[in-house]
């Protein structure tokens, strides 16, 4: 939901152009302390002119008590925009209303500077009946501001944050860096090979570096596990030493696997020294051969009972470190969840649960059905409906700037969104002449609008519409799917579109809800039976 605008922008449309004029007036030149007076700004503009009136809390030293909505008066081909402000001052003296900034089509205009006299209120004590000062009466203490509670809760959140930091640091104390500790040479080799893929060297075009690191990992493992000088050897020397060690240690390594590993070393030499460029599938194949070969060699290694026990002890230690890491992560996540819940609680407590639901969470259709409804009048020609929530104006500037020649105004009002439990879009259109909208064409346009808003797989049925008040029109109804950004899945929705037409204007509204929601269907029926229409102004 959008928050209320702090300044007001008015878009007006017309065909004829003429000069722009700005006038300033006040309804009184003198007031008493604390009394109010009205400041009126009038702008005579063309229909296509864009006008922005000033807003704020003060004009100079004068306090703005209320900024009234803009009134519009049509005078032949021009429009007169009337903006009123209610002002006051609580100190006596002569005050100046400064020259205020008004923007017309992004050009700056200044209003006239006017003065106002604020007089003291005289008290005649000879005629005013006076009374003795009464004793102090004990009353209930006025509740103090609730902001201290907010500050306390914020302090608790900050304290919880620091607490979580120190808890995690305490758990980390004495921890061995996991990237530097491995239970065995094969575990280190596998970890480094997995990390090699994460570097995305091949994707970056650095194939030479990829092969160099891959063969270095394999050579380091062979040197640490079989104890031969693998790092300083050429590829052929490494293969000869490897074959000799396999024979002496009576390791079972298939000759075919040795040949495959030899081919990888040769491919690596070609890449490093002959600038060979293997294809993607060839690189992946070589990496797979290295992974498999190192595991085969490690499995074939002869181990004494002491070595097996040492490996087992290291594996137990590695699992313990992994368990500690899980605990630290769980504590961090738990604290984060607690802080989030506290933050939501603070927000709900400070602004109220209704505010949270109106602007962030949303209401269930059952809540909307049971709460107190409001009756409001929207747009031109006006449509009067009863709804669970007041609809908010939501005009699209692109649409407003590209209205057809015969359209005087187009306004839209909304509650919810396309994937909320329940949402409403109401559109009113006023024509410059006695045009009467074709209901079939209007429904077709509205279905395209539904598609523009993100609806897919729309199923359409049409029928005549008539409510309990005898109001008739045309409606389309059915279902569609819409992508839910929160769940990342398509969501099945139902809809009803109702259109009304009269000479000089049209009213349309969309009712959208989750499929098979019985409460939503009751809301729709109640809204439709409340509809009343105003006639278009001639």
306 or 267, which is more confident: 267
Region 274-293 average pLDDT = 89
What is the Cα Rg of the chain in Å?
Answer: 39
The terminus-to-terminus CA distance of the chain in angstroms comes to 35
* Structural contact between residues 519 and 366, judged by C-beta atoms closer than 8 angstroms: yes
* Structural contact between residues 408 and 430, judged by C-beta atoms closer than 8 angstroms: yes
Residue 361 has pLDDT above 70, yes or no: no
**DSSP assignments along 407-462, one per residue:** EEEEEEEEES-TTSSEEEEEEEEEESS-----HHHHHHHHHHHHHHTT-EEEEEEE
Could you tell me the pTM of the whole model?
Answer: 0.38
Q: Any bridge partners for residue 9, and if so which?
A: 52
The pLDDT score that the predictor gives to residue 9 is 31
The pLDDT score that the predictor gives to residue 314 is 63
Q: Closest by alpha carbon to 364, among 536, 518, 167?
A: 518
The pLDDT score that the predictor gives to residue 216 is 92
The pLDDT score that the predictor gives to residue 467 is 82
The pLDDT score that the predictor gives to residue 140 is 42
CA distance 332 to 338: 10
The sheet with strand 489-502 has its strands ordered as 392-393, 407-415, 422-431, 505-514, 489-502, 472-484, 456-466
Banded model confidence at residue 38, pLDDT cuts 50, 70, 90? very high
Query: Token pair 């979580």 is at which residue?
Result: 164
- Alpha helices by DSSP H, listed for 274-409, are 280-300, 305-351, 353-356, 365-370, 397-400
Phi-psi region of 413 (alpha: psi -120 to 50; beta: other; left: phi over 0): beta
The number of angstroms, rounded, from the C-alpha of 73 to the middle of its chain's C-alpha atoms is 39
Q: Closest by alpha carbon to 512, among 417, 401, 423, 444?
A: 423
- Burial class from Cβ neighbours inside 10 Å (0-12, 13-18, 19+) for residue 477 reads middle
CA distance 408 to 505: 9
Percent of the chain at pLDDT > 70 equals 74
Q: How do 114-119 and 30-32 pair as beta strands?
A: parallel
Residue 351 has pLDDT above 70, yes or no: no
The pLDDT score that the predictor gives to residue 24 is 92
Least confident of 48-52, 227-231, 339-343: 339-343
The pLDDT score that the predictor gives to residue 132 is 47
Q: How do 472-484 and 9-11 pair as beta strands?
A: unpaired
The pLDDT score that the predictor gives to residue 438 is 80
Banded model confidence at residue 84, pLDDT cuts 50, 70, 90? very high
Residue 5 has pLDDT above 50, yes or no: no
CA distance 534 to 518: 31
Each residue's pLDDT tens digit, 425-455: 888 888 887 777 788 888 888 888 788 878 8
Q: E strands, 177-233, where?
A: none
Residue 369 has pLDDT above 60, yes or no: yes
Residue 130 has pLDDT above 60, yes or no: no
Which of 156-165, 241-250, 340-349 is predicted most confidently? 241-250
Q: Any bridge partners for residue 508, and if so which?
A: 427, 499
The pLDDT score that the predictor gives to residue 83 is 92
Percent of the chain at pLDDT > 90 equals 6
- Measure Cα distances from 458 to 86, 465, 479 in Å: 50, 20, 6
Task: State the CB neighbour count (10 A cutoff) for residue 454.
Answer: 14
The pLDDT score that the predictor gives to residue 363 is 60
Each residue's pLDDT tens digit, 479-529: 888 877 667 778 888 888 888 888 888 888 888 888 778 888 888 888 888
- Burial class from Cβ neighbours inside 10 Å (0-12, 13-18, 19+) for residue 261 reads buried
Residue 126 has pLDDT above 50, yes or no: no
157 or 388, which is more confident: 388
Task: State the CB neighbour count (10 A cutoff) for residue 291.
Answer: 16
Q: Any bridge partners for residue 500, and if so which?
A: 507
CATH number of 363-533: 3.40.1000
Query: Token pair 């000069």 is at which residue?
Result: 19
352 or 31, which is more confident: 31
* Structural contact between residues 478 and 425, judged by C-beta atoms closer than 8 angstroms: no
The pLDDT score that the predictor gives to residue 49 is 84
Mean pLDDT of the chain: 76
**Tokens found for residue 20:** 């722009």
Superfamily of 9-119 according to CATH: Immunoglobulins (2.60.40.10)
């Amino acid at each position: 939901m959008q928050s209320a605008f702090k300044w007001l922008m008015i878009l007006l449309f017309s065909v004829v152009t003429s000069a722009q004029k700005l006038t300033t007036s006040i309804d009184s030149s003198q007031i008493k302390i604390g009394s109010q007076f009205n400041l009126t700004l009038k702008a005579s503009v063309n229909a296509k002119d864009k006008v922005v009136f000033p807003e704020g809390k003060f004009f100079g030293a004068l306090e703005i008590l209320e900024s009234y909505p803009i009134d519009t008066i049509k005078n032949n081909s021009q429009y007169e925009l009337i903006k009123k402000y209610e002002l006051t001052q609580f100190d006596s003296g002569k005050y100046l209303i400064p020259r205020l900034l008004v923007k017309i089509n992004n050009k700056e205009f200044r209003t006239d500077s006017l003065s106002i006299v604020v007089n003291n209120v005289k008290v005649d004590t000879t005629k005013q009946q006076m009374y003795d000062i009464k004793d102090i009466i004990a009353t209930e203490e006025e509740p103090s501001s609730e902001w201290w509670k907010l500050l306390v809760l914020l302090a608790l959140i900050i304290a919880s944050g620091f607490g979580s930091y120190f808890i995690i640091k305490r758990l980390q104390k004495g921890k061995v860096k996991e990237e530097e500790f491995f239970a065995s040479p094969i575990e280190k080799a596998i970890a480094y090979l997995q990390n090699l893929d994460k570097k995305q060297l091949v994707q970056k075009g650095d194939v030479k570096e990829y092969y160099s690191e891959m063969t270095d990992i394999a050579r380091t493992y062979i040197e640490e596990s079989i104890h031969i000088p693998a790092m300083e050897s050429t590829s052929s020397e490494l293969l000869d030493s490897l074959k000799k060690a396999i024979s002496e240690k009576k390791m079972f390594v298939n000759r075919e696997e040795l040949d495959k590993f030899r081919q990888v070393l040769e491919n690596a030499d070609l890449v490093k020294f002959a600038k060979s460029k293997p294809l993607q599938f060839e690189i992946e194949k070589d990496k797979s051969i290295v992974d498999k070969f190192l595991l085969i060699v490690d499995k074939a290694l002869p181990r004494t009972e002491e070595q097996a026990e040492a490996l087992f002890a290291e594996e137990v230690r590695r699992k313990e470190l992994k368990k500690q890491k899980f605990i630290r992560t769980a504590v961090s996540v738990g604290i984060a969840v607690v802080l989030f819940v506290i933050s939501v609680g603070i927000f709900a407590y400070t602004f109220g649960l209704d505010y949270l639901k109106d602007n962030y969470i949303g209401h269930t259709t059952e809540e909307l059905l049971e709460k107190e409804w409001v009756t409001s009048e929207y747009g031109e020609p006006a449509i009067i409906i009863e709804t669970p929530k007041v609809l908010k104006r939501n005009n699209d500037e692109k649409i407003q700037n590209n209205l057809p020649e015969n359209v005087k105004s187009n306004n839209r009002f909304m509650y919810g969104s396309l994937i909320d439990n329940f949402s409403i879009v109401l559109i009113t259109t006023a024509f410059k002449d006695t045009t009467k909208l074709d209901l079939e064409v209007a429904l077709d346009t509205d279905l395209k609008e539904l598609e523009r808003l993100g609806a897919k797989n729309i199923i359409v049925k049409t029928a005549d519409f008539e409510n309990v008040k005898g109001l008739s029109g045309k409606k389309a109804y059915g279902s569609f799917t819409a992508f839910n950004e929160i769940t990342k899945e398509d969501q099945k929705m139902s809809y009803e579109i109702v259109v009304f037409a009269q000479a000089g204007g049209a009213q349309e509204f969309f009712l959208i809800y989750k499929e098979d929601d019985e409460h939503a269907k009751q809301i729709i029926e109640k809204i439709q039976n409340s509809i009343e229409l105003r006639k278009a102004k001639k």
